[in-house]
Amino acid sequence: MRARIHDPLLPAIRQHEKAIALRAEGRFAAAERACRAAITGYQAIEGPRHVDVANALVELGLVLEARDRLREAAQCQRRALRILLLDRSGDPDIARLIVRARTALGGIDRTLGAYAAADRGYRTALAEIQRHFGPRDRYIAGVFNDLGVLRKAQGRYDEALAFYRRALPLVPRGDRHALATLAHNLGGIEHARGRYARAEAPARRAVVLRTRAFGLRHHLVAADVAALAAIVEGRNRLGEAARLYERAIADFRRAFGPRSYEVGVNLAGLAGVRQAQRRPQIAETLYRRSLAIHLRLLGPRHLDVAITRNNLALLLRERGRVSEARSEARRAFAAFRALLGPRHPTTRASERSLAQFARDR
């Protein structure tokens, strides 16, 4: 929307633009304040159901998601969708905004372990893009990537890889951010399959591309560094892996604070390295810090919580604390079974561990 010099919407528009810029810089608290000011301004002049309100709500949802306030973020995206779906103008900008809200909501559902809801959201978004903009629209690559991430979380690696490969030719060659994301995710599939040597090259490419796009200390670069750390750990280069995890944790703390989701994930990764380095006390402390963060953010029946419980159980068993190990292993297995189903490889591995713990004395 073009604002006239004396347009009463101008303050709200400026706050909205400021929020977008602040989010891009990783200044999320300031971005939230600006976004809320924009929403207040839009509502006062245009009413609570105007598309400008919905647009700002989508932005606020993205900011809140970055701040780990996932349920609040989901509420923003749902409210935005309710407003946007009332529009019958056929405006392509509104159609794209609907897709942004649906995919953002799908990402939140995926993070919370609501995989069926995430799948429905992504597929609805994909159908809407194809209907409005055709089969080779740039947004399709993003949804294919999202579906790939979801399939990886579900343990369906072949399907995930197929989605990433469908996304790749749709990404413009100059879009370093999107290319880095796909390189990151392709490396992640190889890592999940235990093919660490094949995973390392795309993971390093992701770090290079994203650094060129955003700079050395950006939180998106930190995510690529963390993924590389896990791969290097798999190749048994433990000192290098520890340094990469520590770098990622420092950058995530700077961006999101010390109790953020990403800090929790990478504390668990560093714990695994310290465990492999025979530093069990440090490893246990790190696992417990990670577990506390994720329990607060995600609750007890979440995949990340279950994985950390399982790893903590293995460590406690190594330390001879069999009763504690068995308790954590039971909780992990119950969560894996509920979230992934009884036939998933992770569930089966957890069940075997639990059976072994039952034989311990």
Per-residue pLDDT of 281-335, as tens digits, reads 999 999 999 999 999 998 988 889 999 999 999 999 999 998 999 999 999 999 9
Confidence of residue 359 (pLDDT cuts 50, 70, 90): confident
Where does residue 269 rank: exposed (0-12), middle (13-18), buried (19+ CB within 10 A)? buried
Query: Can you tell me the distance from the alpha carbon of 49 to that of 39, in angstroms, rounded to the nearest whole number?
Result: 11
Where does residue 90 rank: exposed (0-12), middle (13-18), buried (19+ CB within 10 A)? exposed
Domain ranges, ordered by start, for the chain: 1-127, 301-361
Per-residue pLDDT at 264: 96
DSSP-H helix ranges across 215-321: 219-234, 238-256, 261-276, 280-298, 303-318
Residue type, 114: A
Collect all residues with Cβ–Cβ distance below 8 Å to 77 and sequence separation of at least 6.
Answer: 57, 58, 61, 101, 102, 104, 105, 108
Indicate the SS3 state at residue 307.
helix
Per-residue pLDDT of 292-303, as tens digits, reads 999 999 898 888
Query: Can you tell me the distance from the alpha carbon of 107 to that of 167, in angstroms, rounded to the nearest whole number?
Result: 17
The domain 301-361 is classified under which CATH number: 3.30.60, 3.30.70, 1.25.40, 1.10.10? Answer: 1.25.40
| Contact indicator for 315, 283 with CB cutoff of 8 Å | yes
Q: Which CATH architecture best describes the domain 1-127?
A: Alpha Horseshoe (1.25)
Question: Is residue 3's pLDDT more than 80?
Answer: no
**How high is the mean pLDDT of the chain?**
94
Mean pLDDT, range 72-81, rounded to an integer: 98
Per-residue pLDDT of 16-48, as tens digits, reads 999 999 998 889 999 999 999 999 999 999 999
Per-residue pLDDT at 1: 42
Question: Is residue 2's pLDDT more than 50?
Answer: no
Question: Is residue 178's pLDDT more than 80?
Answer: yes
CA 30 to chain centre: 21
pTM above threshold 0.75: yes
Nearest to 344 by CA among 189, 109, 152, 154: 154
Q: Are 1-127 and 301-361 equal in CATH topology?
A: yes
Per-residue pLDDT of 84-118, as tens digits, reads 999 988 899 999 999 999 999 999 999 998 999 99
Confidence of residue 346 (pLDDT cuts 50, 70, 90): confident
